[in-house]
């Protein structure tokens, strides 16, 4: 969870807060065997702007804006965004009763 917040700041200049875990995704080749943790985050501050060469653009889109994009969107991202706009995401919130007292406990 800490890495997700850090990456959001480092790559897009956004300060975000994690609302919960959306899920775990096994990644395809060449990352076979790796897992991606997918979090729903909330914007706290900052304007989206590329912060390093890994990104060529950063901005927020409305559902209408997304439909007007005429270039490919990474398939998992497109699927998650569609589910978000259709209110079809289930968030696992952090559980403060976990005895390990970790902010990233989603059990």
* Long-range contacts of residues 86-95, Cβ cutoff 8 Å, at least 24 apart: 89/22, 89/40, 90/22, 91/19, 91/20, 91/21, 91/22, 91/40, 92/20, 92/21, 92/22, 93/19, 93/20, 94/18, 94/20
Looking at the 3D structure of the chain, how many domains does it have? 1
Q: Which residue range forms the structural domain that includes residue 23? A: 2-85
Q: Are the beta carbons of 60 and 70 closer than 8 angstroms?
A: no
Give this prediction's pTM. Answer: 0.82
| Other beta carbons less than 10 A from residue 60's beta carbon | 9
pLDDT digits 0-9 by tens, 27-66:
999 999 999 999 999 999 999 999 888 888 888 989 999 8
- Report yes or no on 94 lying in a domain: no
- Report yes or no on 99 lying in a domain: no
């Amino acid at each position: 969870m800490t890495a997700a917040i850090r990456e959001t700041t480092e790559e897009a200049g956004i300060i975000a807060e994690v609302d919960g875990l959306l899920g775990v995704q096994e990644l395809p080749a060449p990352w076979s065997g790796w897992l991606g943790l997918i979090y729903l985050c909330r914007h706290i501050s900052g304007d989206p702007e590329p912060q390093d060469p890994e990104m060529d653009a950063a901005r927020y889109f409305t559902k209408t804006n997304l439909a007007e994009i005429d270039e490919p969107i990474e398939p998992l991202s497109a699927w998650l965004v569609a589910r978000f706009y259709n209110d079809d995401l289930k968030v696992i919130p952090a559980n403060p009763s976990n005895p390990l007292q970790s902010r990233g406990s989603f059990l």
